[in-house]
């Protein structure tokens, strides 16, 4: 189990970094404005009455997104069913990414007034964020699978 949680944590961090590809590409193409992780960080800081310089705020945004991804990845490693094949891992990971997207972008993010809910937001931003979360989930699941491939039951380890 420890390998799965560690693999999930590492996969979640890597998956959070991978998410930057579609997000930054969409920003460059004019499909989205400020990336949602930045808007969420800005909104939370404002809510708490904190003011930071732009550079510090940007760094905090990246670190908080990686931290959230690590925590979500560790949770995946702890609760996801064990699979042995890449297609199964991808299916589970994409489903997990969809769940993280839904809980965040249709849940706590609009509840805190940080972004509008999906039905009142720009469709392009929602599409980009859903795709980014699919990549997050797939990456998390694949790293978890790779980390747990050599895992043996504790009784065999001590023999």
What separation in angstroms does the CA of 40 have from each of 78, 81, 98, 112, 150?
26, 31, 19, 9, 38
Q: Which pLDDT score is estimated for 151?
A: 58
Structure confidence at residue 90 as a pLDDT band (50, 70, 90): very high
Q: Regarding predicted confidence, which is higher, 78 or 152?
A: 78
Instruction: Please compute the mean of the pLDDT values over residues 26-34 and round it to a whole number.
Output: 94
Structure confidence at residue 150 as a pLDDT band (50, 70, 90): low
Residues whose CB is less than 8 angstroms from the CB of residue 150 and which lie 6 or more positions away in sequence, other chains included? 3
pLDDT for residue 158 is more than 50: no
* Angle (CA) 153 95 36, round 5°: 120
pLDDT for residue 157 is more than 80: no
Instruction: Please compute the mean of the pLDDT values over residues 95-118 and round it to a whole number.
Output: 96
Q: Which pLDDT score is estimated for 156?
A: 46
Q: Which pLDDT score is estimated for 2?
A: 87
pLDDT-above-70 percentage for the chain: 94
pLDDT in tens, 40-65: 999 999 999 999 999 999 999 999 99
Q: Got the DSSP string for 46-83?
A: HHTT----HHHHHHHHHHHHHHHHHHHHHHHHHHSPP-
């Amino acid at each position: 189990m420890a390998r799965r949680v560690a693999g999930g944590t590492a996969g979640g961090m890597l998956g959070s970094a991978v998410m930057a590809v579609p997000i930054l590409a969409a920003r460059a193409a004019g499909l989205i404005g400020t990336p949602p992780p930045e808007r969420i960080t800005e909104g939370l800081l404002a809510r708490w009455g904190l003011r930071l310089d732009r550079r510090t705020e940007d760094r905090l945004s990246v670190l908080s997104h990686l931290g959230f991804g690590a925590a979500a990845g560790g949770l995946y490693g702890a609760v996801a069913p064990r699979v042995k094949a890449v297609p199964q891992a991808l299916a589970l990971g994409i489903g997990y990414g969809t769940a993280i997207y839904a809980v965040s972008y249709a849940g706590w993010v609009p509840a805190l007034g940080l972004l509008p809910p999906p039905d009142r937001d720009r469709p392009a931003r929602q599409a980009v964020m859903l795709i980014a979360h699919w990549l997050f989930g797939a990456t998390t699941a694949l790293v978890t699978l790779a980390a747990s491939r050599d895992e043996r039951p504790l009784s065999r380890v001590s023999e």
